[in-house]
């Protein structure tokens, strides 16, 4: 039951952040989930999203064992220009000398920064939809 309630809360929060892309309001959502269900093992997922008219910021922490799966997901959906510095994988999108978005992934952590002024509305919508799938990846 706890899993269902937390999952529904996460889906609602991510939907709410997606709905805010075209409006002028500021949306901040923080979600924490920890599993204590028998057979699932104990793990903790924290996702924080700030979605304003100009910026989208997502910070997530999740079980380290999910990092590889999330990295493959990002490789499949983001620009192919990924750089690696130590244990951190970074995807950057630049346009006209300005940074449109930066996605940084390291073991058990994901940080996303998107400046909506330098990214088309379609890309903003696509990226926010893509990151709403994050919950499915880190909970599998």
For tokens 């709403």, the residue is: 132
Q: What is the pTM of this model?
A: 0.74
> What angle is formed at CA 70 by the lines to CA 107 and CA 131, rounded to 5 degrees?
115
DSSP 8-state code for residue 118: G
Beta bridge partners of 35: 43
Distance of CA 133 to the CA centre of its chain: 8
List per-residue pLDDT tens for the chain, 140 residues long: 344 334 434 444 444 444 444 444 566 766 666 666 555 566 788 888 899 999 999 999 998 999 999 999 999 988 778 899 999 999 999 888 899 999 999 999 999 999 999 999 998 999 988 888 877 787 66
Separation of alpha carbons 42 and 37, rounded Å = 8
Separation of alpha carbons 112 and 109, rounded Å = 10
Helix 121-132 / helix 2-19 crossing angle, nearest 10 deg: 180
The answer to whether 47 touches 134, Cβ cutoff 8 Å, is yes
Rg of the chain over all Cα atoms, to the nearest angstrom: 15
* pLDDT for 38: 55
């Amino acid at each position: 039951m706890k899993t269902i309630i937390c999952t529904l809360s996460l889906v609602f929060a991510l939907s709410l952040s997606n709905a805010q892309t075209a409006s002028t309001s500021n949306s901040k959502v923080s979600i924490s989930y920890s599993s204590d269900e028998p057979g699932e093992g104990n793990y903790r997922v924290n996702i924080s999203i700030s979605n304003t008219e100009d910026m989208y910021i997502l910070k997530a922490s999740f079980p380290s064992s999910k990092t590889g799966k999330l990295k493959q997901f990002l490789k499949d959906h983001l620009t192919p220009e990924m750089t690696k510095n130590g244990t951190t994988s970074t995807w950057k999108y630049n346009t006209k000398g300005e940074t449109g978005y930066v996605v940084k992934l390291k073991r058990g952590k994901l940080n996303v920064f998107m400046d909506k002024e330098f990214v088309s509305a379609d890309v903003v919508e696509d990226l926010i939809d893509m990151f709403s799938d994050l919950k499915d990846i880190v909970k599998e």
